[in-house]
């Protein structure tokens, strides 16, 4: 009898402590901030809401600080100073000095499909403001002749860009920010967060609180829906597409991703490229570069660069879907797209 009472009490205590455990379930903290020309949505799960709020404030000021240092359009930013330097070396430190060598490495790896010196061409098309225009072909030829990332020289803490050339980190800054934010989140012992840096750069920290992977939609470049879902766990994803920023003139669509060889919008037959990698910087830089390369060269680039640890999803202008073999088990078609064919690239 005593034994039975003991076991009943034991069961009761166990039950109560399990319930108490439920009370310390991580709670969701969501916040939105505007940086790098886009709305960013951050979701953090934590049992310590005060702590999470502190982290959210830290992330917001981190983003604001990076924006004011890395933006090409903000007066006084490191990049603006470099662009106004008339070829003289400019002293830079911190994020700028950390990011530049990494992005130049990506420019080199992609053989200039990614080229941070495309900025004068980006401006000539009006993609930095609201007034768009189609530059005439002689102007484009002149602009293309001046796109050359190999002319950017890095010193110990200086950057030199030849007079007449300008740089822009628009293709990689959000990815770099995503990596820094994720580092910060993990450093605060938070193991479940989703950092959506807008315009399709997203970093999944850990898993969802229930231990399942984050499920992230890949947008149909032809519409508003998601055509596929990619499962991410401690992984980043970035998409570049002609649909993200563009204008139309004379029945032709001109988008913001330029082919450094022509200084004109890249027409490689793709409408979007999504890259999945542990590094958000890699995702951002390579999604832009693969969009420029096109399906065939982009696939060969993936085969040739296993050290960059990335997988990719390509959508062509006629709606064909291709994905690399490494996404097996992590990629699925969304509802409404189940009948679409997906070609696996090996």
Residues at the site binding Mg ion, with contacts judged by CB under 5 A: 171, 284, 288
Q: Is 293 helix (H, G, I), strand (E, B) or coil?
A: helix
Work out whether 42 is an interface residue with ligand ADP (CB under 6 A).
no
Site map 57..96 versus ligand ADP, x via CB under 6 A: ----------------------------------------
Q: Which of 35, 99, 109, 118 binds ligand ADP (CB under 6 A)?
A: 118
Q: Is 202 helix (H, G, I), strand (E, B) or coil?
A: strand
Q: Between helices 94-109 and 49-70, what is the axis angle to 10°? A: 70
Residue 316 touches which of ligand ADP, Mg ion, none (Cβ within 5-8 Å per kind)? none
Distant-in-sequence, close-in-space partners of 302: CB < 8 Å, separation ≥ 6? 290, 310, 311, 312, 324, 345
CB 326 within 8 A of CB 311: yes
Nearest distance from C-beta of residue 138 to ligand ADP, angstroms: 21
CB 81 within 8 A of CB 74: no
Nearest distance from C-beta of residue 253 to ligand ADP, angstroms: 15
Residue 271 touches which of Mg ion, ligand ADP, none (Cβ within 5-8 Å per kind)? none
| Number of residue whose CB is nearest Mg ion | 288
Work out whether 257 is an interface residue with ligand ADP (CB under 6 A).
yes
Work out whether 273 is an interface residue with ligand ADP (CB under 6 A).
no
Nearest alpha carbon to residue 299 among 330, 278, 268, 329: 268
Nearest alpha carbon to residue 268 among 285, 248, 288: 288
Judged by the rule CB under 6 A, the positions of this chain that interact with ligand ADP are: 114-116, 118, 122, 127, 168, 170-171, 199-200, 240, 244-245, 256-258, 260, 284, 288, 292
């Amino acid at each position: 009898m005593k034994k039975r009472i003991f076991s009943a009490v034991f069961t009761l205590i166990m039950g109560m402590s399990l319930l108490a455990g439920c009370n310390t379930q991580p709670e969701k903290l969501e916040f939105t901030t505007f940086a790098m020309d886009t709305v960013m949505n951050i979701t953090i799960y934590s049992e310590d809401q005060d702590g999470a709020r502190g982290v959210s404030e830290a992330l917001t000021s981190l983003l604001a600080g990076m924006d004011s240092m890395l933006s090409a359009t903000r007066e006084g930013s490191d990049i603006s100073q470099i662009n106004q330097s008339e070829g003289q070396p400019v002293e830079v430190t911190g994020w700028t000095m950390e990011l530049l060598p990494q992005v130049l490495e990506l420019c080199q790896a992609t053989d200039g499909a990614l080229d941070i010196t495309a900025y004068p061409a980006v401006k000539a098309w009006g993609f930095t403001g609201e007034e768009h225009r189609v530059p005439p072909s002689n102007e484009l030829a002149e602009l293309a002749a001046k796109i050359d990332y190999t002319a950017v020289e890095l010193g110990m803490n200086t950057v030199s860009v030849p007079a007449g050339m300008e740089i822009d980190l628009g293709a990689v800054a959000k990815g770099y920010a995503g990596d820094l934010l994720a580092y910060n989140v993990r450093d605060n012992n938070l193991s479940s967060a989703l950092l959506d840096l807008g315009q399709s750069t997203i970093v999944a920290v850990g898993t969802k609180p229930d231990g399942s992977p984050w499920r992230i939609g890949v947008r149909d470049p032809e519409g508003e829906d998601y055509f596929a879902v990619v499962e991410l766990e401690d992984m980043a994803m970035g998409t570049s597409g002609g649909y993200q920023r563009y204008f139309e003139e004379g029945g032709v669509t001109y988008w913001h991703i330029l082919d450094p060889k022509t200084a004109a919008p890249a027409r490689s037959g793709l409408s979007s490229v999504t890259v999945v990698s542990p590094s958000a910087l890699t995702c951002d830089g390579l999604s832009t570069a693969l969009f420029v390369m096109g399906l065939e060269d982009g696939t060969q680039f993936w085969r040739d660069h296993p050290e960059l640890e990335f997988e990719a999803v390509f959508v062509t202008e006629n709606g064909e879907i291709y994905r690399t073999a490494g996404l097996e088990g992590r990629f699925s078609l969304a509802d409404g797209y189940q009948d679409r064919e997906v070609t696996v690239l090996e």
